[in-house]
Amino acid sequence: MNHSPQTKPDYERELRRAGVRITRPRRVILDILAATEDHPDAMEIFQRASSIDKSISLSTVYRTMKLLEGMGAIHRHAFEGGPARFEQASGDHHDHLIDLDTGDVIEFHSNRIEELQDEIARELGYEIVHHRLELYGRRRKAGNRK
Amino acid sequence: MNHSPQTKPDYERELRRAGVRITRPRRVILDILAATEDHPDAMEIFQRASSIDKSISLSTVYRTMKLLEGMGAIHRHAFEGGPARFEQASGDHHDHLIDLDTGDVIEFHSNRIEELQDEIARELGYEIVHHRLELYGRRRKAGNRK
DNA sequence: CGCTAGTTGCAAACGATTTGCAATTGCATT
DNA sequence: AATGCAATTGCAAATCGTTTGCAACTAGCG
Ligand SMILES: [Mn+2]
Ligand SMILES: [Mn+2]
Ligand SMILES: [Zn+2]
Ligand SMILES: [Zn+2]
């Protein structure tokens, strides 16, 4: 769930295997993604990349994100409001809880919910290809226990 | 769940109560929404409105949707890919299953999932304000039984 | 080291939505 | 019914995030 620094998949190998050239901009972006623990958007990735190599363009960031998404190396999220955010696909599947006040993104997973989704789809005659479960909420005040 | 023609809330009354002027464009858009069974986007609403009153503009459709959303009369959905889609808020809460091949939107509801969401948020110290659950899938082939 | 297809930066195009503004209109008031 | 003014409108231009055309560049093979 993105919390293990040791989880740094070898994207370069994977890319070469797919017949894709491993260029300087891509190497920089790949390194950034591998080192990232959060869910940065294209502009944030672009800024982090710029600080390493001034010549990298935002277009290349977008193109690289699309490339990686296509090969399943990253996931793209479109949370309410803002621009698309990305994260490595290497970890286990999880969904997100977004703190409406701070914008913080918290990851969670529920096997039970995943099962129920499959069950619902099946009953409707469908097979789920992917899904999106996002909870938007705010921190419970200390006094809110009940 | 939008399937009952008799469910046509009196938006006009609600609007007046909120100190909002009930203009001709708004009346037309309101009527369209009340009669709508699906999840049209702004352009579709605009076209339906145009066929009733040529002078209505797309801007006004957008402004009206925002107004109605603000007063809780409609819900705005941002399904993958396309533009925002709208639906009356009058019915009971439900989530959506999108057919990836046809674009069809199927509504469903699971009390169990809703409960689990609350439980998860609570455990994380959060209170859910709203959520988004979308299943993207394709029809199961007739032979796919198992 | 040269070749060529893949890749880049840049600027311009894009699609959806929002906004500034001057003209129009709802509607409360005479 | 006429008045007045703020709310609302249509239009065009602006905005935001993202994509794309293109000429210049470069990875990677020979
Ligand atoms: Mn995540
Ligand atoms: Mn619906
Ligand atoms: Zn999930
Ligand atoms: Zn729900």
- Cross-chain CB nearest to B121 (options A128, A132, A135): A135
Span of A16-30, B66-80, B96-110, B116-130 with lowest mean pLDDT: A16-30
**Which of these, B109, B100, B82, lies nearest to B139 by C-alpha position?**
B100
Please report residues of A whose CB lies closer than 8 A to that of B122.
140
Structure confidence at residue B62 as a pLDDT band (50, 70, 90): very high
Q: Is there a contact between B42 and B65 (Cβ–Cβ < 8 Å)?
A: yes
Helices (H), chain B: 11-17, 24-35, 42-50, 58-70, 111-123
Please report residues of B whose CB lies closer than 8 A to that of A129.
100, 136-138
CB B68 under 7 Å to nucleic chain D: no
Residue A138 pairs in a beta bridge with: B127
Mean pLDDT of A117-138: 98
Q: Over 70: is that where the pLDDT of B69 sits? A: yes
Contact flag A132-B127 (C-beta cutoff 8 Å): no
Which one of A101, A109, A126 makes the best mutation probe of the B interface by having the most chain B beta carbons within 10 Å? A126
Per-residue pLDDT at A7: 36
Structure confidence at residue A5 as a pLDDT band (50, 70, 90): very low
Span of A10-19, A33-42, A100-109, B70-79 with lowest mean pLDDT: A10-19
Please report residues of B whose CB lies closer than 8 A to that of A127.
137-140, 144
Which one of A1, A114, A124 makes the best mutation probe of the B interface by having the most chain B beta carbons within 10 Å? A124
Per-residue pLDDT at A9: 54
- Cross-chain CB nearest to B129 (options A100, A113, A124): A100
- Please give the Cα distance from A142 to A146 (Å, whole number): 11
Complete DSSP assignment for B97-112: EEETTT--EEEE--HH
Contact flag B135-A136 (C-beta cutoff 8 Å): no
Cα B99 to ligand 4 centroid, rounded to whole Å: 18
Question: Minimal Cα–Cα distance from B36 to chain A, Å?
Answer: 23
Q: Is B72 left (phi over 0), alpha (psi -120 to 50) or beta?
A: left
Contact flag B137-A125 (C-beta cutoff 8 Å): no
Question: Minimal Cα–Cα distance from A83 to chain B, Å?
Answer: 13
Per-residue pLDDT at B9: 53
pLDDT tens digit string along A31-83?
999 999 999 999 999 999 999 999 999 999 999 999 999 999 999 999 999 99
In this structure, which ligand is nearest to the CA of A111?
A: 3
Q: Is there a contact between A128 and B136 (Cβ–Cβ < 8 Å)?
A: yes
Distance C29 C1' – B67 CA (angstroms): 27
- Please give the Cα distance from A64 to A53 (Å, whole number): 15
Point out the residue nearest to D6 (C-alpha to C1'): B21
From the alpha carbon of B26, which nucleotide's C1' atom is closest? D8
Please report residues of B whose CB lies closer than 8 A to that of A124.
97, 106, 108
